[in-house]
Amino acid sequence: MKISFVIPAYNEEYYIAPCLESILREVQMGGYDAQIIVVNNASDDGTEEIVRRFPGVQIVREERKGTGFARMAGLQAAEGDLFATIDADTRLTEGWIETALGEFERDEELVGLSGPCIYFGIPRSYKNVIQIYYYFVYLVYIVNHNILKKSSKSRLLTMAKSKSREGQET
């Protein structure tokens, strides 16, 4: 399964290199088939020059400013079976691609995936609060999924069925 990374970038010269390094490290470590696209969203700094230093990374130019325009331009150029839209200040953690691909291979009905963030450059007390939040959210997920046997997928199906019934009654 080929994964395409789409990275919108507007004046990201200080962040784009660590982002690309983390993606390339993951791709090389796992031997994955990947496409990396950086969308230069009308940057007027050295973002594009830095991206050019990374062989194999594709640059797409989108002059209309805005993350939505940039993501759409990148997705139109993407050739993968799976798309990962990430921000230029993001760094993939070890095992990220393996985890993402594994989840999509395990569940054919899965259409999206998100996960916790690790924040760099903030005080430890903020990191601790964020970590507690993620543990709490994960606990809620475990209770919903394993104890109450509810998931967002079943909730969406229930909502779709009730809307379908409403349409039939009119």
* H or E element, residue 132: helix 124-142
Q: What is the pLDDT of residues 4-17, one digit of tens each?
A: 999 999 999 999 99
Q: What is the pLDDT of residues 26-64, one digit of tens each?
A: 999 999 999 999 999 999 999 999 999 999 999 999 999
Map residue 83 onto helix, strand or coil.
strand
Query: Residues in the chain, how many?
Result: 170
Single-letter amino acid, residue 93? T
CB atoms within 10 A of CB 36: 21
Q: What is the pLDDT of residues 97-122, one digit of tens each?
A: 999 999 888 888 888 887 666 767 78
Least confident of 65-69, 73-77, 105-109, 145-149: 145-149
Residue 170: predicted pLDDT: 47
Note the pTM of the prediction, 2 decimals: 0.74
For residue 61, the cross-strand partners are 40
CA torsion, ordered 127, 131, 133, 136, to nearest 10 deg: -170
Planar angle of CA 125, 127, 129, nearest 5 degrees: 70
The tokens describing 40, both together, are 């230069």
Q: What are the domain boundaries of the chain?
A: 3-106, 124-169
Q: Is the Cα dihedral 101, 24, 86, 67 positive or negative?
A: negative
Of the pLDDT bands very low, low, confident and very high (cuts 50, 70, 90), residue 157 is very low
| Residues whose CB falls within 8 Å of the CB of residue 82, separated by 6 or more in sequence, listed in order | 1, 2, 3, 4, 100, 101, 104
In CATH, what class is 3-106?
A: alpha beta
Of the pLDDT bands very low, low, confident and very high (cuts 50, 70, 90), residue 150 is low
The tokens describing 133, both together, are 């939040």
